[in-house]
Amino acid sequence: RTLIAFGGGGPVHGLRVAEKCGIRRIVVPTGAGVGSAIGFLRAPVAYEVVRSKYQRFGSFDVAAVNALLHDMQAEARQVVGAGAAGRPMQESRIGYMRYVGQGHEIPVPIPPRPLDRADVVAIRADYDAAYARFYDRPVPGSDVEILSFAVVVATELEAVAPAPAVEPVAGARPIRHQSIRDTATGLVAEVPVYDRLALPRGARIKGPAVIAEDETSTLVGAGWIAEIDGLSYIVMEKT
């Protein structure tokens, strides 16, 4: 597994969490201390419409459901279009379903287009398969009811390129030394502190060390090596 540490406290405590869980790789993205704000600004413009309309597959009203989904689509696209700035939009639909008489629904995807009778049969089969994944097996002979529908319209996400490869760079210099208590042993030691913004891609730092930035600090423990990758992320590996 790889642990991703973000937020003001994540990079500080990520090392100990990883060690307790037996995780040997940690990634600290750029701007980790304000990761939620970055995520908000980079997230797609999206809007979800949820409406109730009771249906059973044994008496499924295709025309009524298509009319409902069409209205929901129009509402969602109007809201997203106001903030999409011309970017392409994508749509997904979900039905919340259960066997008749049960008290809990599970979400099942629905094609984002007008439905026909063949779709109704396929969606029912998808429900049985989804139910079997949750509860090991379907319930043969029982009708399925849909309690509500959801339509989500969102701008398309930009493709994410992998981090480019970098060559190791030597000569990283600390900006100061600081007394740090090792919470595992209780010992206090002077450890080097590095300025994250001054570290080039490919820089490698052997722990124990601290990599400081404006919003947080990353603790690199003894037995760990931190490297700045091609995205300027800190990638820590346990040796």
The model's pLDDT over 124-147, given as tens digits with 9 standing for 90+, comes to 999 999 999 988 888 888 899 999
Identify the CA nearest to 225 among candidates 204, 196, 199. 204
Say if residue 218's pLDDT is above 90.
Answer: yes
Gap between the Cα atoms of 75 and 180, Å rounded? 55
For 9-13, 51-55, 139-143, 197-201, which range has the lowest pLDDT when averaged over its residues?
Answer: 139-143
Average pLDDT for the chain: 94
How many other CB atoms are found less than 10 A from the CB of residue 65? 20
Say if residue 29's pLDDT is above 90.
Answer: yes
Say if residue 106's pLDDT is above 90.
Answer: yes
**pTM for the complete prediction?**
0.71
Say if residue 185's pLDDT is above 90.
Answer: no
Q: CA distances (Å), 138 to each of 60, 96, 102, 127, in order?
A: 20, 16, 13, 9
